[in-house]
Amino acid sequence: MLKIKKENINTLLEELMKDYQVYAPVKNGSKAAFKVIENPDDIFTGHVKSEYSPKSVFFPQSEVLFEYSKEGVSIPEKKEKPYLLWGVRNCDTKSIRMLDKVFGNARQAPDKDMYKDPYWKQKYDTSIIFNFACNAPLTTCFCNWFGSGPFDESGSDIFVVETKDDLIFKGISEKGKELLKKLSVSEISDKKDEEAVSELKEKAVSMMPEVTDISALYEKLPKLWNEPIWQEISSKCVNCGACAFICPTCHCFDVSDEGKNGKGKRVRLWDSCMFPIFTMEASGHNPRGNSVDRVRQRVMHKFNYFKDNYGTHLCTGCGRCVVVCPVNLDIRDVIKDIINYELNKKVPADV
Amino acid sequence: MCNGYLPIQMRVDKVLTENPDKTLKTFELSFLKDNDRENFKYMPGQFCEFSITGKGESPFGIASSPTEKDILKFTVNRTGSVTKEIHYLRPGDIVGVRGPLGNWYPVGKFKGGDVVIIGGGFAFTTLRSLLVYMLEHRSDYGKITVIYGARNPDLFIYKEELEAWDKRNDLILHLTIDKAVEGWTKLCGFVPTVTKEVKLDPKSWAVVCGPPVMIKFTLPVLKEIGFNDGMVYTSLERRMKCGIGKCGRCGIGSKYVCIDGPVFSLEELKNIPEAF
Amino acid sequence: MLQELKDTVKKLISEKKVDIVIGWKRGTLPGSASPLFIQTQEDADELIFDSTCRNNLTAYLTKDKRKMSKDYKKTGIIVKGCDARSVVLYAVENQVKRENIFLIGVPCEGVYEKKKIRAAVDGKEILGIKKSGNAVTITGRDFEIAVPDKDVLSDSCIYCRYPDALEYDVFIGEPRKEVDVKDEFAAVKEFEKKTSEERWEYIKSEYSKCIRCYACRNVCPSCYCNECFVDQNNPQWIGKTPEMTDSIIFHLIRNLHTAGRCVDCGSCVSACPAEIDLRIMSKKVEKEIKERFDYTAGLDINEKPVMATFCEHEKQDFIMS
């Protein structure tokens, strides 16, 4: 493991900024979001986790697919340095790796490039993620339900632990190890540092909530399809898109042409399965016409469908939706309610 | 890098109005570039994203058959904002097309077997593609039966071709309308009822496409006759936006209609409550 | 008071005077409450009412998402002053029949604003919030601070003249009566003193934070259109991007659509994940309506909606000649 003194972080970042476009948490209004930094001092570390997830680095809320005019279509040429993400928590690192399964690959035809997303790949394939351990997880964190934890290194390119005076670096991926070799400001860490790291880890892990066993979730969900539990869960949902837009793994989008007089751009925009128009067809028919259907869809997609297709839950337990939901529809409660739901129990006739 | 979001440009060559109300039009398109023409290889049942830049993009099943060289046909029902704009198109206009997308009717599996095609209203588009394809390779297939229903005689699409198919003796065509009208000499009654009456061989392959209510009532009839779920196919419609399995709008269960379909066997749909 | 509230609700349920009662229960986050739908006596045991009961629950009466007023013959609902005004608005606008709603009024001492609490502790996570007199103690993992309650109460509450339900079927607790807030439009007047450039800069910087999640619209009791103009695509009125111009159009049109109809409950402000100052424009519109038409939304169930009436003597100086 390597380390640098905290006072040298800016020097390191300046060095990295020569070769990379560096994204890090910066102040966005009263909250933190991942944005490209022009100066190491732009970085804002005051919040444990950026309130807006870093998915927007690779999958912005609005992204131009191409420009069109009467002459035809053209893709705006982008010459960018590779992306480097600094200060990412493991829940978000994992989310980005999940999204790559969707955008970077083609599950039904892995060899066909037309099914891979070029806009994602252009940014993602050369990117590198500095995953920072969480010394003080929030009470809304529940990554440990998904087998992860505040000091989970998996998925990182470079794993970073912030100790009292230093940042300790550990290369995880080949890409990460290569980069660490090239950095000029680092020194080798010693046993004392390792002790400090394990001490921090122990403390952080102890701050995590009790683990809820979610192993039954995937198989149980389809059996609940017609159960009244969905009425109960969805009753308070107001069908806004706050949870989906704040979620690091939600990735559904809309495509819209923006322009006039034959000139403009086709853009893709984040969308949410909570919105009634998400599935509305031109005929007026809506396959998911009510809130119950839509809330069920979101839960099914996260904890059943995605696992069917990609082998993992589409949730990393970051807890952002818990914080942001205007009616406190807490996904942790939803998961627990589903797990504890008794199938075949008698339902009063008037429900 | 290959870009699945980028349409190729095609020219509208012919516009055919299919019904007196002018709500259904068939557009015949040709390729502008030679390499687009060469690269565009498709099978019956696949779909395209059809766009007019600035107005938006919508998915449509390809109505032409791969055996009809160098052109693509789409039949468009005017319902929303994009289809309205498409209906304004005139010969010579340039449009964007992405595709071919999705899977196709398993014509390879059908080889040597009898095939029943059941369609309703303007959802006959990819069924036309399938039928034309099979007629071009007629000797590959056994008995071909077509049941095609519409609310009234005006609402059949491809009327000239229907007449020609009706005259052929290597194909059985049952045309039916919901309620008798003067001058109509073919069948009367809903598609499910006709399906029951015409005595189909349950060992056949079946392909069913039409409005949701038609599909809903036809499938149990096929089951009753004894068709095997694995041999009955349908093509699903959802609001596909990206067409390449990313945008999530066409999800039914864990399947995405755009990449896992649009063609599914009943066997595959059995455990997906959202499918119908 | 809470026990009386629970007993009243239980009685209503057991005597079948209502099919359902909407109230609040303790939320899963410190200092939060969550909507509670009460259909049995046991459900009522979860009821709470305090300064965390932020949501204007009347939104559940009309929204496409649940349409309580259609699902149930008679709906009971626990209302603060602003919430009750929403029900008056619904009745005036023929969205619900007043006789189908049973209003349980409660005395409101104002509710906490999430945004202000976060600001008071620099965005750190809070673990507890406790009120004692006019002070509020906020605790976190490594801090405990006490602030005057006006620092964390919603602006809508600080400037609220009608904390008690004016319209109710039963009132639990001691009403606070109409409050003299001196100048409810103080913030708007401050804003108006700025130059137009400064005002534009402020509006731009606030609305550029919008992520177009529509939480503001979806929690708003006055926004009950089955199809919102932003969702229409034939014609498409505005772009769907989160770019500032599109976002500003969305918010300003929403302000106009709720002109003379906004009860200043503050639901939009607290629902906004981007913490946009949504109130400045809605209050500005409210002030205009007050000055021009001497009208305040949701006060009089027999008065026609201000935007649906016209009198010849009304000021018309806004019409350009």
CB contact under 8 Å between A282 and B80, yes or no, is yes
For residue C65 the two structure tokens come to 């998402």
Q: Is residue A345 part of a domain?
A: no
Give the 3-state DSSP-derived string for C52-110, with helices as H, strands as E and coil as C: CCCCCCCHHHHCCCCCHHHHCCCEEEEECHHHHHHHHHHHHCCCCCHHHEEEEECCCCC
The answer on A188 and A241 residing in a single domain is no
> Quick one: which H or E segment has residue B264?
strand B263-265
Q: Is residue A211 part of a domain?
A: no
The answer on C96 and C15 residing in a single domain is yes
Domain end call among A178, A206, A234 = A206
C114 chain-A contacts, CB cut-off 8 A: none
The answer on C131 and C57 residing in a single domain is no
**In the 8-state DSSP scheme, what is residue A301?**
I
The answer on C164 and C130 residing in a single domain is no
Q: What backbone torsions phi and psi does residue A40 show, to the nearest 5 degrees?
A: -55, -25
The minimal CB distance from A327 to the residues C34, C141, C211 is found for C34
Residue contacts between B and C (CB atoms, under 8 Å): 8
Q: Is residue C43 part of a domain?
A: yes
Task: Write the pLDDT tens digit of every residue in B38-67.
Answer: 999 999 999 999 999 888 899 999 999 999
pLDDT at residue B121 tops 80: yes
Confidence of residue C92 (pLDDT cuts 50, 70, 90): very high
Strands B24-31 and B8-17 turn out to be antiparallel
A263 chain-B contacts, CB cut-off 8 A: 54
The answer on A225 and A198 residing in a single domain is no
Q: Is residue C319 part of a domain?
A: no
Strands C20-26 and C33-38 turn out to be antiparallel
Mutation to test the A interface, candidates B53, B269, B274, most A Cβ within 10 Å: B53
Q: Is A266 in the C-facing interface, judged by CB distances under 8 Å?
A: no
Q: Is residue A55 part of a domain?
A: yes
CB contact under 8 Å between B4 and A114, yes or no, is yes
Neighbouring-strand partners of residue A26: A33, A43
pLDDT at residue C199 tops 50: yes
pLDDT at residue C203 tops 60: yes
pLDDT at residue B157 tops 80: yes
The answer on C205 and C82 residing in a single domain is yes
Q: Is residue A212 part of a domain?
A: no
Where in the sequence is the domain holding A67, given as residue range(s)?
A: 2-206
The answer on C237 and C120 residing in a single domain is no
Residue B81 Cα, gap to closest chain C Cα (Å): 5
User: Residue A311 burial by CB count (10 A; 0-12/13-18/19+): exposed, middle or buried?
Assistant: exposed
What gap in Å lies between CA C138 and CA A215, rounded to an integer?
37
Q: Residue C69's pLDDT is what?
A: 52
Neighbours of C128 (CB within 10 A): 11
For CA atoms C39, C41, C46, C49, give the dihedral sign. Answer: positive
pLDDT at residue A326 tops 90: yes
All chains having 3 or more CB pairs closer than 8 angstroms to chain B: A, C
Q: Residue B180's pLDDT is what?
A: 87
For residues B119-148, average pLDDT? 95
CB contact under 8 Å between A266 and B5, yes or no, is yes
B84 chain-C contacts, CB cut-off 8 A: 234
A351 chain-C contacts, CB cut-off 8 A: 39
Confidence of residue C313 (pLDDT cuts 50, 70, 90): confident
The answer on A168 and A224 residing in a single domain is no
Confidence of residue C67 (pLDDT cuts 50, 70, 90): low
B274 chain-A contacts, CB cut-off 8 A: 287-288
For residues A114-142, average pLDDT? 95
Q: Residue C180's pLDDT is what?
A: 75
Q: Is C232 in the B-facing interface, judged by CB distances under 8 Å?
A: no
Where in the sequence is the domain holding C146, given as residue range(s)?
A: 114-152
CB contact under 8 Å between B247 and A102, yes or no, is no
Closest CA to C167 of C58, C286, C79, C267: C79
Per the CB < 8 A criterion, the answer to whether B234 and B215 are in contact is yes
* Long-range contact set of residues B189-195: C-beta below 8 Å, sequence gap at least 24: B190/B149, B190/B214, B190/B217, B191/B118, B191/B119, B191/B120, B191/B147, B191/B149, B191/B217, B191/B218, B192/B217, B192/B218, B192/B220, B192/B221, B194/B147, B194/B149, B195/B118, B195/B147, B195/B221, B195/B222, B195/B225
Q: Is residue C320 part of a domain?
A: no
A226 chain-B contacts, CB cut-off 8 A: 273
What gap in Å lies between CA A328 and CA A332, rounded to an integer?
11
For residue C174 the two structure tokens come to 């001691």
pLDDT at residue C321 tops 70: no
The answer on A259 and A192 residing in a single domain is no
Whether the bond between A40 and the residue before it is cis, its omega within 30 degrees of 0, is no
Fold (topology level) of B8-101: Elongation Factor Tu (Ef-tu); domain 3 (2.40.30)
Residue B82 Cα, gap to closest chain C Cα (Å): 9
Q: Residue B247's pLDDT is what?
A: 95
The answer on C176 and C78 residing in a single domain is yes
Q: Is A63 in the B-facing interface, judged by CB distances under 8 Å?
A: no
What gap in Å lies between CA C143 and CA B44, rounded to an integer?
67
Closest CA to B28 of B42, B16, B40: B16
What gap in Å lies between CA A100 and CA C69, rounded to an integer?
44
Q: Residue C309's pLDDT is what?
A: 86
Q: What is the secondary structure of C174-216 as a DSSP string?
A: --------S-TTHHHHHHHHS-HHHHHHHHHHHHTT-----HH
Per the CB < 8 A criterion, the answer to whether A171 and A177 are in contact is yes
Q: Alpha helix (H) ranges present in chain A?
A: 9-19, 55-58, 90-103, 118-124, 174-182, 191-206, 217-220, 229-234, 242-246, 291-300, 306-310, 320-324, 331-340
- Range from A42-46, A258-262, C189-193, C211-215 carrying the lowest mean pLDDT: A258-262
Q: Residue A78's pLDDT is what?
A: 78
Domain end call among A185, A206, A227 = A206
Task: Write the pLDDT tens digit of every residue in B180-195.
Answer: 888 888 889 999 999 9
CB contact under 8 Å between B254 and A106, yes or no, is no
Task: Write the pLDDT tens digit of every residue in C147-168.
Answer: 999 899 999 999 999 999 999 9
Residue A296 CA neighbour count, 13 Å, CB half: 25
Q: How many domains does chain C have?
A: 2
C234 chain-B contacts, CB cut-off 8 A: 80-81, 84
pLDDT at residue A349 tops 70: no
Confidence of residue A351 (pLDDT cuts 50, 70, 90): very low
ipTM of the complex: 0.92
What gap in Å lies between CA A340 and CA B102, rounded to an integer?
39
Q: Residue C65's pLDDT is what?
A: 44
Neighbours of B149 (CB within 10 A): 29
Task: Write the pLDDT tens digit of every residue in B64-82.
Answer: 999 999 999 999 999 888 9
C236 chain-B contacts, CB cut-off 8 A: 81
The answer on C292 and C229 residing in a single domain is yes
The answer on C136 and C33 residing in a single domain is no
C235 chain-B contacts, CB cut-off 8 A: 81
The answer on C240 and C140 residing in a single domain is no
For residues C238-261, average pLDDT? 90
C271 chain-A contacts, CB cut-off 8 A: 240, 242, 326
Strands B115-120 and B144-150 turn out to be parallel
The residue of chain B nearest to residue C232, with distances taken between CA atoms, is B81
Residue B37 CA neighbour count, 13 Å, CB half: 12
Residue A260 Cα, gap to closest chain B Cα (Å): 7
The answer on A287 and A201 residing in a single domain is no
Mutation to test the C interface, candidates A236, A253, A267, A320, most C Cβ within 10 Å: A236
Torsion of Cα atoms, A330 then A335 then A339 then A340, to 10°:
0
Closest CA to C31 of C16, C47, C53: C53
Domain end call among A157, A180, A206 = A206
**In the 8-state DSSP scheme, what is residue A236?**
T
Q: Is residue C127 part of a domain?
A: yes
- Percent above pLDDT 90 for chain C: 72
Q: Is residue A125 part of a domain?
A: yes
Taking CA C196 as the corner, what is the angle to CA C194 and CA C202, rounded to the nearest 5 degrees? 70
3.40.640.10, 3.10.50.40, 1.10.10.10, 3.40.50.80: which CATH number matches B107-235?
3.40.50.80
The answer on A225 and A199 residing in a single domain is no
The minimal CB distance from A102 to the residues B80, B238, B246 is found for B246
Q: Is residue C19 part of a domain?
A: yes
The answer on C94 and C158 residing in a single domain is yes
- What is the separation of C-alpha B194 from the centre of its chain, rounded to a whole number of angstroms? 20
Residue C317 Cα, gap to closest chain A Cα (Å): 35
For residues B94-114, average pLDDT? 95
For residues C309-319, average pLDDT? 77
The minimal CB distance from C28 to the residues A29, A51, A322 is found for A322
Q: Is residue C318 part of a domain?
A: no
Confidence of residue A346 (pLDDT cuts 50, 70, 90): low
Q: Is residue A233 part of a domain?
A: yes
Q: What part of C 225-284 touches A (C-beta under 8 Å)?
A: 231, 239-243, 267, 270-271, 273-276
Residue B20 Cα, gap to closest chain A Cα (Å): 20
Taking CA C237 as the corner, what is the angle to CA C231 and CA C238, rounded to the nearest 5 degrees? 85
What gap in Å lies between CA B52 and CA B273, rounded to an integer?
34
**In the 8-state DSSP scheme, what is residue B269?**
H
Neighbouring-strand partners of residue B1: none
Q: Residue A275's pLDDT is what?
A: 92
